[in-house]
Structure 1
Amino acid sequence: MHSSSPADAPVVREPLHAPVAHLVRGGVVEGIHYGSVVVLGADGHVQLQLGDIEAAFYPRSAVKPLQAVAMLRAGLPLDGELLALAAASHSGEERHLAGTRRILELAGLTEDRLRNVPDMPYGAAVRDAWIREGRTASRLAQNCSGKHAAMLWTARLRGWSLADYLDPAHPLQQAIRETVEDLTGQRVARVTVDGCGAPLFSISLHGLARALARIASAAPGTHEARVADAMREHAEMVSGAGRDVAALMDAVPGLLTKDGFEGVQVAALPDGRAVAVKIADGANRARIPVAAAALARAGVDPELLTEFAGEPLLGGGEPVGCVRVARALDPVPLAACV
């Protein structure tokens, strides 16, 4: 069932972040990552919160599962790996490029209709290979190309204009906004432009967790369940080989998760438990350790999460410290700190 009346938009303010992780080198706290974390129980109630989970923020690419649900609601006939690609921040591997071409082909369109920004592949190994081969940036290689191809096909199916499909006033983007508000249970606070050129809607961290919980726990056959199933079953289409998003979904049975630039991670389980993380300084090194600790607080077996406790800090090539999650979130650390 869709919510009939989303709550008011979150307040736009300077977020009241709290310490969520410490850089510990040789037993001394060398740096502190601030951020916010929310853990929801299966009943949707907040089980733990750190920082400011109600302030307006931009979820960046963590909103892609919601955008994919919106496109299915609008009639997009995708499933499986191509639906996973529509919700992806992909690495630019050949399978990702081939999948995006396939979506465009199904829509009767070509790559030149894409309006995302040209870029090199996001995956480090793939990008390095492109550079060695003398290949240049392209819209197809940019990590959001699957989403943009799906947006174009959705617009074409509905008879909407294609050239301006990224305009926030376009019927496609209005439909996506409506779904974001429905799934989060709150109105959008602000609209801006994401790095790829698509409209980006400001919600709260709490709202993002609620939304992914609804998607992960949806009844079989619903649009939400189709997105969740596709992402879980094709985790490397959502991200890429060696990426932490795919590794997390492989490690934790039933887990649905998505990352976003500037230190965002959201994850949810089939029973509705969910976590969402925002690292204030956007640091990748804190994002996954904090998310793993939040999942442990949500009841995920810590043994499944040990590989996500963070990379050691090195001194002279040897481990001399770690990123240690704040005690308020992780009273029993997933991994020991040197």
Structure 2
Amino acid sequence: MVREPLHAPVAHLIRGGLIEGTHYGSVVVLDGDGTVRFQLGDIEAAFYPRSALKPVQAVAMVRAGLPLDGELLSLAAASHSGEERHLAGARRILELAGVSEDALRNVPDMPFDPAVRDTWIREGRGPSRLAQNCSGKHAAMLYTCVLNDWPLEGYLDPTHPLQQAIAEIVEDLTGQRIARVTVDGCGAPLFSVSLHGLARAAARITAAAPGTPEARVADAMREHAEMASGAGRDVAALMKAVPGLLAKDGFEGVQVAALPDGRAVAVKISDGANRARVPVAAAALAWAGVSPDLLTEFQGEALLGGGLEVGRVRPVRSLEPVVSACA
């Protein structure tokens, strides 16, 4: 499992009818019963899901007693854009926990959304822990520690009770042992699993019985998609476009999505390119049985020449025929 991934071509840059470039990666599609319907590349090698693991982390915190629901629970699983509603939500979680922003240990950063960041800079504001895209998760981590009488100091240490509890649920929902532990961009522990395991975890979250921690997280993210991301973000648009879909992206070209009946997809683009992540994820969802009519806006980024469209980023043929056949 811990080895060099054997990625395969998953998307081409088509310009003027010719392949200008190729993105490599891996894709897995699961049926509702958990069997693999489609795979491409290497779905069993260990990799870091990055923020695509946040729904699992949120489930772990709810299992540990986190009482959030709705917008605030969605924010706990978010890679947010740094909009004022995101900052206000993170402050609210900290207020419920009875702690200040000083307790946060995520790295200070500017807002993730370029337009929000530009406004922030014009206003003379600098990096802050609250603006960093993982602040909702970190605020929820602190709240979970308070509720369990766990120390706030060192809450990001992999040996801390909070992180041990999260690691246990990662292994439970993915159905596999964590291969490696490192540090994510925000400073939190990052657990490596396989792409197959990530898809399995997403399926278990969306197919869980109503009222369970898994269902609460799925409901919160689906009903408040822009709190889990931001206005204009593709992952929020995807959840709005496909009824019942739970979707989460992660840095370095990771995407996971699952439907209430347990069908799930997971994508890793080896070079981390978002322009390949979106159309490959859409093609994988078509493989899972989602109508291509719901996925038309996610079919690939246009390539421009002289300001005009001269091509697109397209999934490779082994993905595309399913989209065409279902049209």
Q: For the superposition of Structure 1 and Structure 2, which TM-score range results when normalised by the shorter chain?
A: over 0.9
Check conservation: 1:258, 1:265, Cα contact below 8 A.
yes
- Length, aligned pairs only: 324
Task: Name the CA distance, whole Å, in 2 between partners of 1:62 and 1:125.
Answer: 23
* Structure 1 residue 157, shift from structure 2 partner: 0.8
1:92 paired to 2:82: yes
Shift of 1:302: 0.3
Q: Is the 8 A contact 1:56 1:189 kept in 2?
A: yes
Deviation of the 1:209 alpha carbon: 0.1
Match of 1:112 among 77, 93, 102: 102
Structure 1 residues without counterparts, runs of 5 or longer: 1-10
Match of 1:63 in 2: 53
Q: Deviations over 1:88-142 (max 9, x none)?
A: 0000000000000000000001101000000000011101111111110000000
Please name the residue that 2:248 is paired with: 258
Q: How far did residue 333 of structure 1 move?
A: 5.2
Local SS of the residue matching 2:304: strand
Which of 12, 19, 23 is the equivalent residue of 2:2? 12
Cα offsets for 1:144-201 (capped at 9, x unmatched): 0000000001011111110100000000000000000000000000000000000000
Q: Which runs of 5+ in 2 are unaligned?
A: none
Distance 1:124 1:217 in 2: 35
Q: Aligned-pair distance for 1:291? A: 0.1
1:203 to 193, 207, 224: 193
TM-score (norm 1): 0.95
Cα distance in 2, alignment partners of residues 210 and 275 from structure 1: 9
Q: CA RMSD in A?
A: 0.7
Separation (CA, whole Å) in 2 of partners of 1:124 and 1:37: 29
**How does 1:1-338 map onto structure 2 within 5 Å?**
11-331=1-321
CA pair 216-332 structure 1, distance change in 2 beyond 3 A: closer
- Offset of residue 28 of structure 1: 1.2
After TM superposition, the runs of 4+ consecutive aligned structure 1 residues lying more than 2 A away are none
Shift of 1:27: 1.1
Distance 1:267 1:143 in 2: 20
Equivalent pairs: percent with the same residue? Answer: 81
**Do 2:302 and 2:312's aligned partners in 1 also have CA atoms closer than 8 Å?**
yes
Q: Offset of 1:311 from its aligned partner?
A: 1.8
C-alpha change, 1:56 and 1:92, in structure 2 (3 Å) is: same
How far apart are 1:212 and its partner, in Å?
0.3
